[in-house]
Structure 1
């Protein structure tokens, strides 16, 4: 460096690195541990006021009594060189003292080796950062998992004829491991492995099916239970492609704060409107959200997508269209949805959410279903919601072809943070899918469910810590399978959930 020269050769990138790890100082009074009586006060004041090339630590201190290495001094020197270079470039020559330039020239020669070494280190870091940015496809996979242990018992008379409780206390378990990978920071690839050993209690119509029973395997065999990839097409449209035996339409927005089979409802019916179960297990979900007040979802799920004889479009399927409205754009919890599902099933229509109705079992059935779902946040500790679902089904095979009407409804009460933050209380009162009329019964069977049974459920999730929660719950089924000849059933569940 020469006095009066308008180009000073020193590493600019070192200074950028230093600035990221220090706090700029515009007045020496900003340094909390520098006093006016200190021997170096005037020197520091001159450097700050003349060249602004002194930086403090993030806590506002200077730490002048600490020993300094040659590399640390080189970085500080580099900062001052950069400040002076800026003044020379701007032709502020009167602000640069000739004697100071001479001193800096000597210092630059003395610390030439350290400055060159620092430049090399910064260049290496920048090269590695640039390489990592280019290799974003080599994403990091994160693991999260759930373990459920549950004691389940159904008790009560199986029928009005006097039969006693025919279901014993059972112990169930389910393990899930989710491997989540993102390639762009906005997308997600999920691979889920699952093993379970859950058998539902004995109950007419299988109406006592528990929420966390998913899939048919009950031998703790590990299986790939879900494979899905979610990615944004643009700021308003996102796409989810998925396959897995428990997909259905529950990857969409079902408008129920008590949906979770891990930390909320204890029953399968309590998760959402039964019309969401009319889909298959493989397909695509497209979500379009033009603004914060409205969202549209379109979904198609096939049942035999991996069968060459059927494929995606020549077997059972479900196609759903849904519009969700948010009255208050600042409140994502309060919303109302209008849902339509067109479905085709080759093995009947499961209107009891777990079994085939006898009047339609074994037939090819097409259906159109309509639903209204809502949830309203009353205050921070109370939400009220529910749904109504109607299915118009047509039997396409059998001796007598015809139509059937099926209804289900529920009212949900949610109590977030009940007792303490993280807890959840829930009440669900409703009617599981009921066959109200059919023009195509099987021989000797009624055209409709003879009575109306009700589903009454309550649970309380108690959060022990961030990883463990316990949920006791009780379900009361009146006239199970919508037949008063079946005695009331009570289902008790104590579910313990571990999450990592």
Structure 2
């Protein structure tokens, strides 16, 4: 239709196509003769294939684009034998008829070509139409049956197969309260009680609801049969897993919180079941936060980043890559007895965290402080330290600090991402009855990860560090502050990304002296004890 509009709106064409006025008093015979001559020249001229063949047509002409389209798309414009177009001269009715006829012929040819192509691909077009109709029907069905217009559901589950072995010449096993036969090797005792291969799972359902597009109401339902001590391990607590959830295969709600922005820079979070890291601006590591053994998921500082869960709230302030996070929660917040629960009571199990971080796109640094009332449930557990360090945080208050940094390369390749972290904890006994007045413990780690290692989408990781170990103590009954609680942990994993939804991660670990001060039943700490193990974790996301 553009062609006909261009012909009809051209003033010269309209004027020449209109009937000659009956009232005309003057007729320029010479002019008519000129037009007749021009008409013969135009009809006799050859068709042109490019507008550049006209010597008197320029890009600044108002009809340049329209003329170019007629020539290059339809090839129905002719010029004068001398290579000119004479665009400012008027047309005769004969010229207009010749031009219109030539263009109609070309349009007819194009139409015939389209019909031929449609005939040739008739079957394919029918298939495409059928698929489109099917998609429209499925979309309509989904819209009619969706359970919510505001909630998105996602699921991930972990299957873990693994086992541990033990070595060393230490004898007896002591966990701070129980002593086994001191004539039996610790490795033999551990093999008998925690040496079997286990196969277990963790299953999580996320229900994320947004009412404004910027807020988040998260409900997480979880089930699992993974023991808190991996593979039912009652000897080496470091085999614990972050995903080591044991609900007896029942479904439980283990997250329920609401997060919403206030202005451009603040975000508030509150919930009846909220975890410490849900209220942090950044997780201070590039190393995977949920890969294999527990210690390496805590950014090297499981005291400050203890991942306590309970009732509470917090805020996040973010401006120009600088962030401040502050939060409070009570692990016993659902209990109205002030001696056993409540918010900010003696029995609350209070956990307060402040984090300062600077996190541009590929690197960052963070410092954190945590206050934990260890009398009522906040503090280290067996997956993050030696038995000695864990036992010293049973009573009192623990003040923890952490310093972490991370860096990621711009492109994956030979250079890995690097994460480092260090933590220090000071615990004071509030009961007045424990043999230890106070203690200091520390931890650190370095984690490396190579993305797209060997194959695109896969990842290789290695980490080394010291899980929380006691570095100094103040005993009530002695001035002796010697402690031999040091230990080391190593991790190596390779993640195969089988599909977009399935990954398989084999990993091996080695713990050097995981019992720390209690090696050799707490009597001969010079004796050796170690643990080596492996696991295969399969992750499903959908």
Give TM class, smaller chain: 0.5 to 0.7
Matches within 5 A, 1:55-454: 139-157=149-167, 160-161=170-171, 162=185, 163-164=187-188, 165-166=191-192, 167-199=195-227, 200-201=230-231, 202=233, 204-214=235-245, 216-217=246-247, 219-244=248-273, 247-249=275-277, 252=280, 253-261=282-290, 265-272=291-298, 273-275=301-303, 276-277=305-306, 279-292=308-321, 294-309=322-337, 310-314=341-345, 315-326=348-359, 329=360, 332-347=361-376, 349-350=379-380, 352-353=382-383, 357=389, 359-360=391-392, 362-363=394-395, 365-381=396-412, 382-400=416-434, 402-440=437-475, 449-454=483-488
Contact 1:458 1:474 in 2 (8 A): yes
Cα separation, 2, equivalents of 1:205 and 1:257 = 27
1:228 CA displacement:
2.0
Is the contact made by 1:287 and 1:295 (CA closer than 8 Å) also made in structure 2?
A: yes
Shift of residue 157, structure 1, vs aligned partner: 2.9
Say if 1:280 and 1:316, in contact at 8 Å, map to a contact too. no
Matched, 1:35 2:66: no
Task: Report deviation, 1:438.
Answer: 2.1
- Partner deviation per Cα, 1:393-420 (whole Å, 9 max, x = no partner): 1110042572210101111111122123
Q: SS at the partner of 1:426? A: strand
- Quick one: distance in 2 between partners of 1:449 and 1:350? 19
The question of 1:498 aligning with 2:540 is answered yes
Give the distance between the partners of 1:340 and 1:226, measured in 2 at CA.
23
- Rg larger for: 2
| Partner Cα separation in structure 2 for residue 171 and residue 189 of structure 1 | 33
> Which residue number corresponds to residue 508 of structure 2?
474
Displacement of 1:358 after TM fit? 6.4
SS state at 1:346 partner: helix
Q: Secondary structure at the match of 2:460?
A: strand
Per-residue deviation at 1:456?
Answer: 0.5
Number of equivalences: 378
Q: Compared with structure 1, are the counterparts of its residues 280 and 227 closer, same or farther at alpha carbon in structure 2 (3 Å cutoff)?
A: closer
Unaligned 5+ segments in structure 1 are 1-25, 46-60, 67-137
Deviation at 1:388, TM superposition (A): 0.5
| Aligned partner of residue 288 in structure 1, secondary structure | strand
Q: CA RMSD in A?
A: 3.6
The 3-state SS of whatever aligns with 1:324 is strand
TM-score, scaled relative to structure 1: 0.67
* Aligned equivalents of 1:493, 1:343: Cα separation in 2: 33
By how many angstroms is 1:177 displaced?
0.9
